[in-house]
Amino acid sequence: MFKIEKPDDEIVEKVGTTVIADLVKISLSDDPSKFCIMPRKYTEKDLERVKNMEIFEDDIFVITFPKCGTTWTEEMVWMLNNNLDYETSKNVRLTARFPFLEWGGIIHHLDVDRIEELKNLPRPRHINTHLPIFMLPDQLWTVKPKVIYVTRNPKDAAVSWFHHHRHFHQYQGTKADFIEAFSKDLMFFSPMNRHVLDFWKIRDEPNILFLFFEDMKRNLEQEVKKTMKFLNKDYSQDQIDKLCTHLSFDSIKDNKTVNKNEELRRFVTSVGGNYDPSEYTFIRKGQVGGYKDELTVEENEMMDKYGNYAEFEEYGFEYKY
Ligand code: A3P
């Protein structure tokens, strides 16, 4: 059903790292347009186990292409779906409240069986994933749990992914190579455009909520209310105001159970690196348009072309900047 091969482009060699090891292209055997770039560690067995995992009606999924506001959305969704339980939010790490589905299969030296762990998680389970539609559990489409999908403009996402790679995945290469690989759909988890479009096409299904990072940034209250309604919850204006403060950039950046500084420190130490929070924090800039300070003219042009994906027009999709 799946085909796993080495991509035929030397840029892929340049952007692999010791942490995510070699990148491979996983595609559907009968439809090569459905593909995803993954670390070599992600095998046929991982693909099958995710495809066949049991899904429950009350599961909540946050699905994103990396760096599109996953962490931010997870905290919003978890709080809304858990009666605004600030106490638990303060005491239990978000990574435990909202486990990352493919974690065990992507990091070279990690021995984690996430699929087994998820079986034992108390319900309702909150799960996050970056996997594209064709690699998701089959039962997602029959059981139809609630899915919150979030996207962001690809320039900010790519720049954020680059910094993540440098500090989390120990990427030693250049930004130019990274952006080239991203715009050729040859970066880890690529292709972004296809990822977004596949969810955009199903955005009107009753169990799907499609959000934009840029809308959350410009009017968080509106997006919180939209998500509250989608989750069939009802909170007062005062409660919503308090939640918006809790979800603000400064608050999330300072929030020890959410900001991932500790995860980053532990992870970087485990691969023999030194984590210096004065150089990088996971909750980094949180801006719309931050790419303007970071992309060269050539890189920006490459990403302009990337964001103008031919198929978007047909489906009425546009990134927000
Ligand atoms: P930057 O690297 O551009 O700052 P993910 O959780 O999908 O990995 O996304 C991380 C990105 O979301 C980072 O982007 C981070 O700063 C941003 N982010 C997280 N919480 C945020 C918030 N409350 N407001 C704005 N941006 C936020």
**pLDDT of 125-182, one tens digit each?**
999 999 999 999 999 999 999 999 999 999 999 999 999 999 988 899 999 999 999 9
How many angstroms separate the CA atoms of 29 and 22, rounded? 21
Q: Is 97 left (phi over 0), alpha (psi -120 to 50) or beta?
A: alpha
* Mean pLDDT, residues 219-237 taken together: 98
Question: Which residue in 167, 151, 194, 184 sits closest to 65, CA to CA?
Answer: 151
From 164, 284, 291, 293, mutation site for ligand 1 pocket: most ligand atoms within 8 A of C-beta: 284
How many angstroms separate the CA atoms of 75 and 96, rounded? 12
Distance, CA 290 to ligand 1 centroid (Å)? 11
User: Annotated catalytic residue: which of 126, 130, 163, 164?
Assistant: 130
Q: How many residues does the chain have?
A: 321
Token pair 């005062």 in the structure block, residue: 238
Crossing angle between the packed helical segments 297-307 and 192-200, to the nearest 10 degrees? 30
Token pair 């150089």 in the structure block, residue: 279
The residue whose CA is least distant from atom 24 of ligand 1 is 249
List of domains in the chain: 2-314 (3.40.50.300)
Q: Specify the DSSP class assigned to residue 181.
A: H
Q: Are 241 and 260 contacting, i.e. CB atoms less than 8 angstroms apart? A: no
* Amino acid, single-letter form, for residue 207: N
Give how far Cα 290 sits from Cα of 11, 13, 68, Å. Answer: 25, 28, 13
Q: Is the pLDDT of residue 43 over 80?
A: yes
Q: Specify the DSSP class assigned to residue 92.
A: S
Residues in the ligand 1 pocket, defined by CB under 6 Å: 64, 66-72, 156, 160, 163, 217, 247-249, 252, 283-286, 290
Distance, CA 158 to ligand 1 centroid (Å)? 12
Q: What's the whole-model pTM score? A: 0.98
| Tokens describing residue 220 | 């968080």
Which ligand 1 atom minimizes the distance to the CA of 247? 23
Residues with Cβ within 8 Å of 135's Cβ and at least 6 positions away in sequence, in order, are 26, 36, 47, 50, 51
**pLDDT of 279-316, one tens digit each?**
999 999 999 999 999 999 999 999 999 999 999 999 99
Q: Is the pLDDT of residue 39 over 80?
A: yes
Q: What is the pLDDT of residue 21?
A: 77
How many angstroms separate the CA atoms of 130 and 212, rounded? 15
Q: Is the pLDDT of residue 236 over 90?
A: yes
The answer to whether residue 130 is catalytic is yes
Distance, CA 284 to ligand 1 centroid (Å)? 6
From 103, 160, 255, mutation site for ligand 1 pocket: most ligand atoms within 8 A of C-beta: 160
